[in-house]
Structure 1
C-alpha cells in the first residue's frame, strides 16, 4: 500500500506537550515503517528561520517557511509532524490551505499548567520582563476553532493523546486501519 503524505500540525502554548507528543507519535510511526519527517519549531528556528524575531510578521513568516517545507514533503508522500506554537489562527489556516492534507492537533493545557512545566524557565523570564512578546503572557495565542484533534494534556495521558491522533489518522485514511476479526 502506498503511503499518503499528510502534515500533522501540533499547535499550543509553550509547555503544553507538543514536543512530547510528537516524539511519541514519531516512535509509533517509525515502528510501523512509515516514511516521516519532524519539523520542531525550536530546531527550525536555529536552522531554517534563524534571524527571524518574534514580531507578528516574523512569527507568520516562520510558520510560512515551516509550511513550505511541510508541503514539499507532504506532496511527496511523507508524513510530516510539525511541532510549533504557531500562535495565530490566520497563518495556520493559510498553511492548511496550501498543504491540503493537513491535520490540526490542538495540544491544550491551561496556562498555569504550562507554567508549571516550564523546564526552560521561559515563563519565569517572561513574567520578569526579560522576554518580550511571549505567547500566553504578553502576546496572544489564538486556539484553533475546529481542530481535527484536541489533546488535553492536563487531563489525559501521553498514550491517550497519541492514540487519539493515531485513530484520527486512521479514520481519515492516512494510516492503514487494523483489521479486526
Structure 2
C-alpha cells in the first residue's frame, strides 16, 4: 500500500498546469496561427485561473452552508485489569484515525507515569480520574475527541467523567476474574494475591460494574478485532456521519 506524499501532489499539480496551459496555447495557435498570441494567452490564462481559484477558495471558506462540525466524543474503556481494555482501545484508535478526525489516545499507564504519586485508594483514584476529566475537557474545547482506557473501578468516578465531558461513551470490557488471571503476563494478580500490591482491583479492592454502559464487550466471546469493529460502527452511527 502506498501513500501520496505532499511533494508528489505538488509535482502532479504543476505538471497538470503545464498540460492545461499547453492545450490552451495549442488551440489558440490552431485557430489564429500566431505563436506570440498563443503564448500570451497561455500565460494570461494561467495567471487568471490561479487568481480566480485563490479567490474562489477564500469565498467558500466564509460560507458555512454544507459544512458539518463533528462534535467531539469520548470513548471511555473500563474493566478489570487485563480484561483487554488497552488492546481493544488501541485498535479502535487506529481505525478511527483513518476517518481523519482530530483524535487523541489516553491510557492509564501513560498518565500514571506522569503522576507516579497519584495513589490507589478510593479517594486518590477518584481525584486522578477527575484530573483526566479536565484533560478531556481541554481537548474537547479544541474539537479533539478521545479514546481513554482506565480501570476506573468506581461508579462515582465514571459518573463524574460523564458529567464533565461531552458525548461520553462508556465501553465496558467484560471478562471474568479467572480469564484475567490467565492473561496476566505481568504477574500482577499473583502479586496482589500475595499482598505485594495493595488496593488491587478485583482482589483487595472492589470493581463496580457499569450499570449504564453504551457498549458491553465480552472478551470471552469475541476477539479484539471484532470488538473494535463494533465500537467503530457505533461511533460512525452516532458521531461521524
- Fold conserved between structures, TM > 0.5: yes
Q: Kindly name which structure, 1 or 2, has the bigger radius of gyration based on alpha carbons.
A: 2
Measure how far apart 1:76 and its partner are: 2.1
The answer (yes or no) to whether the contact 1:3–1:78 under 8 Å persists in 2 is: no
Greater share of residues in strand: 1
User: Looking at both structures, which has the greater relative contact order when contacts are Cα pairs under 8 Å and sequence separation is at least 6?
Assistant: 1
Aligned equivalent of 1:179? none
Aligned equivalent of 1:104? 170
Q: State the TM-score, normalizing by the size of structure 1.
A: 0.92
Quick one: distance in 2 between partners of 1:2 and 1:95? 23
The answer (yes or no) to whether the contact 1:74–1:101 under 8 Å persists in 2 is: no
Aligned equivalent of 1:147? 213
The answer to whether the aligner puts 1:61 opposite 2:115 as a matched pair is no
Aligned equivalent of 1:161? 227
Measure how far apart 1:146 and its partner are: 1.4
* SS of residue matched to 2:69: coil
* SS of residue matched to 1:33: coil
Pick one of 171, 175, 178 that aligns with 2:240: 175
Measure how far apart 1:164 and its partner are: 1.5
Give CA-to-partner distance per residue, 1:97-156, whole Å, 9 cap, x none: 111310000010101101110121110100111111100001000110010000111110
Aligned equivalent of 2:142? 76
The answer (yes or no) to whether the contact 1:148–1:168 under 8 Å persists in 2 is: no
Quick one: distance in 2 between partners of 1:2 and 1:10? 25
Measure how far apart 1:2 and its partner are: 3.0
The answer to whether the aligner puts 1:122 opposite 2:188 as a matched pair is yes
Aligned equivalent of 2:106? 39
Gaps of 5+ in 2: 1-67
Gaps of 5+ in 1: 177-181
Pick one of 92, 110, 113 that aligns with 2:179: 113
Q: State the TM-score, normalizing by the size of structure 2.
A: 0.70
Quick one: distance in 1 between partners of 2:166 and 2:91? 24
* SS of residue matched to 1:135: coil
Pick one of 85, 108, 122 that aligns with 1:18: 85
Measure how far apart 1:3 and its partner are: 2.5
Greater share of residues in helix: 2
Taking only aligned residues, the RMSD between alpha carbons, in angstroms, comes to 1.1
Mean CA deviation greater in 35-44 or 159-168: 159-168
Quick one: distance in 1 between partners of 2:227 and 2:159? 23
The answer to whether the aligner puts 1:138 opposite 2:204 as a matched pair is yes
